[in-house]
Structure 1
Amino acid sequence: MSLTGTPFLYTLVVLCVVAVVLPLVLWSRVRGPKVVRGAVRMLMLAFAQGTAVALVFTLVNNSNQLYDNWGDLLGTSDHVQQAADLGASGTGGIALEKLPKVKQVFKPGRGPGMRAEGGVLTTQLKGRVSGVHAEVNVWLPPQYHEPAYRNHRFPVVEVLPGYPGSSKAWYGTMDAPEQLAPLMRSGQIEPFIIVSARTTLLPGKDTGCANIPGKVNADSWLSIDVPKMVMDNFRAQAAPDGWAVAGYSAGAHCAAKLAVAHPDRYRAAVSMSGYNDPIAVPQSLAGKTPALRDANNPYVLLRDSRVPPRVALYLSGQPKDGYEAAMALKRIAKAPTTVNVVFVPADAGGHTMALWKPQVVPAFRWLTEVMGGGEHRACTGPGATPLAPSTGGSRHAELASGSASPATGARRP
């Protein structure tokens, strides 16, 4: 029975009802010695508490899409077939342009949000470079199948969840397709292909999107294998100008790191409540040694870069949750690197999906401008209208769109 499936949830609801009724009916009817009666009653109480905890956990998990399956929850899922030493480039000396095309079979995605706005396509990809074997989800914008766009290649945003986190979270809890599709249809936001690959690759460990010989090549999985597969199977623009990466929490750290480390693969990155030093997450493999920490710290990479990378960064955060890390990157950035920091006041909410979900639209508006979309390209479709300023719509969305500042945020009641 699937961890996130409706049958499992309904089963828990029924068991919770039974667990409440059982003591009411049997408490005074238990027979036998005093010790036996006490043990039976304790078992009934334990059963009631256990089912209640399981139901609450399942509701929280389904709402935040933390664990996809039992293997993720129990720490038994391993999606790494091999982890060769691929060197500093992450290619292992492989001439990527000479690799044969990757042809994948896709099926409709299942789960929360996976069928909204045209639906999500999912496939199991065997990474030829990384040695990772895991799912990749692809959502196509409304214009993708329109005759007027049959020769058009679309920009791509690779989206990353936090840790723990499901590859489906951006489609489900974050509601990215539902939020963005209407704006793409109206021409306010560029029609992006949205790609989400599995990032939980090892049992109970956050890979930190790092390449670690002998353990995992998460960087090469996300920045080489997944993009190549997408470009081989869909009308996607080429890297780097046609590609961006976005994430929240641990995924935010990865987004900034991947863009700074690979300006030849990504043009822009969106980081929501991110951090720079991988040691911020105790389970992060990238934080285990000083060398790994430096190699996967976007601040260190940007500071020590001989030639500033041609990337644009959108970094949002609250005090002590992303804002200071974002400002540190802004202070050391040199052209052509650009850094846009969005201050989110502490009273806008905590480190949760409720804080990041309203930031999806403002972030994609920014991506539309930065990736050469702007008013001109966004207005190329039939019936498109010029780009318009964000209307906000909710307090959190207004804050996330950059209308707040450290000064104004402090004055809010």
Structure 2
Amino acid sequence: MSLTGTPFFLTSILLLIVAVVVPFTLWTRIAGPPLLRGLARLLMLLFAQVTAITLVFVMVNNANNLYDTWGDLLGTDSHVAAAKDLGPDGMGGQQIKNEPKQLQRFRPADDPRMGPGVRMTDLQGRISGVMGEVYVWLPPQYADPAYRHKRFPVVELLPGYPGSSKAWFGSLHVGEQLGPLMLSGAVKPFILVAPRTNILTGADTGCVNLPGKVNADSWLTVDVRKMITDNFRAGTKPDSWALAGYSAGAHCAAKLALAHPDRYRAAVALSGYNDPALEPDSLAGKDPKLRLTSNPLHILQAANAAGRPPRTALYVSGAAGDGYQAGIGLRQLAKRPTSVTVQLIPANAGGHTTAVWRQQVPEVFRWLGGRIRA
């Protein structure tokens, strides 16, 4: 039974009802010695507590898309086939232009809560050695004959940690919000791509390459990117690509965009952070060298010192103490052509939750429309 499916949710409700009804029915009817009666009543109480906790977990998980599968929750799934040392560029000496096309079969998304039009595929990363599902949503204009020769810009959507690749569609309702706005012309049409980021058991990859462990950077910025351009009418230049993330995904979005201006032109970071060590389970935060080199502040400082400020536009939003200061730090370092827009979220807006980020979706995509193009 699926962890996120309706059957499991309904089963949890049914079990809780049973757990409440059984004590009322049998509490005074239990026969036998006092010790046995006491033990039976204790088990009924424990069963009621377990079912209540389970139902709350299912509701929270369904609302926030924290864990996709039982394997994600229990840490039994493996999504890394290999983790070679791919070098500073994350390519391992290979050239994307020389790689054969990776044509994929797509099917409708396996969760109806993601809304209409979302399709998915299982991708095996040729460069990164990572395997995982990728969800794709095409704008309304994609099937319009008037756009048949047009390539579309792309935004990669990154969740927090723990987080499911379904989250932007299932919790933030990005497709349902943007579809009407794209049809009306209020928002530019984008292809939306949500790749798996929960790759390792009990660890946040920090979207870095760590030889022998995982090549999360190359998975997102090389393999997923190439698969999309191989299978869809997507722009291939950096001007056509952006990233958007919240929480740990916000850190990744800013880090990847600044580190790869040859692949991305813009990034949106909602309630994120610069120092990866602020996520206790971050692999990057636990490695002294990676903690420094994957910090967006360090990436920007190093690029400025080398006389090559990245042509990258960042939109950073957050409340005081929850992403806002991270944006201010980046804005203070930004030199043309780098630009950083910082938005303060009121403290009473709702905290570090998907409800807050969901409300920002139209605004950030209008901002992206002015920064990336086909």
- Residue type matched to 2:51 in 1? T
Please name the residue that 1:292 is paired with: 290
Please name the residue that 2:41 is paired with: 41
Whether 1:365 and 2:363 are equivalent positions in the alignment is: no
Q: How does 1:68-217 map to 2 (within 5 A)?
A: 68-116=68-116, 119-217=117-215
Contact 1:106/1:122 (CA < 8 Å) preserved in 2? yes
Residue deviations 1:138-164, cap 9 Å, x none? Answer: 000000001101111000000000000
| C-alpha distance in structure 2 between counterparts of 1:112 and 1:360, whole Å | 20
Contact 1:4/1:69 (CA < 8 Å) preserved in 2? yes
Q: 1:281 aligned to 268, 279, 288, which one?
A: 279
Please name the residue that 2:240 is paired with: 242
- Residue type matched to 2:101 in 1? K
Contact 1:142/1:184 (CA < 8 Å) preserved in 2? yes
Distance apart, 1:276 and its partner CA: 0.4
Whether 1:219 and 2:220 are equivalent positions in the alignment is: no
Contact 2:115/2:173 (CA < 8 Å) preserved in 1? no
Q: 1:250 to 1:90 in 2, by over 3 A?
A: same
Please name the residue that 1:310 is paired with: 311
Q: 1:232 aligned to 212, 230, 233, which one?
A: 230
| C-alpha distance in structure 1 between counterparts of 2:331 and 2:27, whole Å | 65
- Residue type matched to 1:206 in 2? D
Partner SS for 1:224: helix
Whether 1:20 and 2:20 are equivalent positions in the alignment is: yes
- Alpha-carbon RMSD: 0.9
Please name the residue that 2:332 is paired with: 331
Q: How many pairs does the alignment contain?
A: 371
Please name the residue that 2:32 is paired with: 32
Partner SS for 1:348: coil
Q: Which runs of 5+ in 1 are unaligned?
A: 374-413
Distance apart, 1:79 and its partner CA: 0.2
| C-alpha distance in structure 2 between counterparts of 1:267 and 1:81, whole Å | 30
Partner SS for 2:281: coil
Contact 2:152/2:373 (CA < 8 Å) preserved in 1? no
| C-alpha distance in structure 2 between counterparts of 1:348 and 1:41, whole Å | 44
Contact 1:112/1:171 (CA < 8 Å) preserved in 2? no
Please name the residue that 2:353 is paired with: 352
| C-alpha distance in structure 1 between counterparts of 2:162 and 2:316, whole Å | 21
Distance apart, 1:111 and its partner CA: 1.3
Q: Which runs of 5+ in 2 are unaligned?
A: none
Partner SS for 1:370: coil
Q: Structure 1 length normalisation: TM-score?
A: 0.89
| C-alpha distance in structure 2 between counterparts of 1:112 and 1:334, whole Å | 44
Contact 1:80/1:132 (CA < 8 Å) preserved in 2? yes
Contact 1:237/1:243 (CA < 8 Å) preserved in 2? yes
| C-alpha distance in structure 2 between counterparts of 1:56 and 1:289, whole Å | 35
Contact 1:112/1:173 (CA < 8 Å) preserved in 2? no
| C-alpha distance in structure 2 between counterparts of 1:48 and 1:209, whole Å | 40
Contact 2:250/2:272 (CA < 8 Å) preserved in 1? yes
Q: How does 1:368-387 map to 2 (within 5 A)?
A: 368-372=369-373
Distance apart, 1:372 and its partner CA: 4.5
Partner SS for 2:317: strand
| C-alpha distance in structure 2 between counterparts of 1:222 and 1:161, whole Å | 13
Please name the residue that 1:54 is paired with: 54
| C-alpha distance in structure 2 between counterparts of 1:372 and 1:130, whole Å | 27
| C-alpha distance in structure 2 between counterparts of 1:241 and 1:219, whole Å | 19
Q: 1:113 to 1:8 in 2, by over 3 A?
A: closer
Contact 2:153/2:373 (CA < 8 Å) preserved in 1? no
Distance apart, 1:239 and its partner CA: 2.7
| C-alpha distance in structure 2 between counterparts of 1:113 and 1:60, whole Å | 14
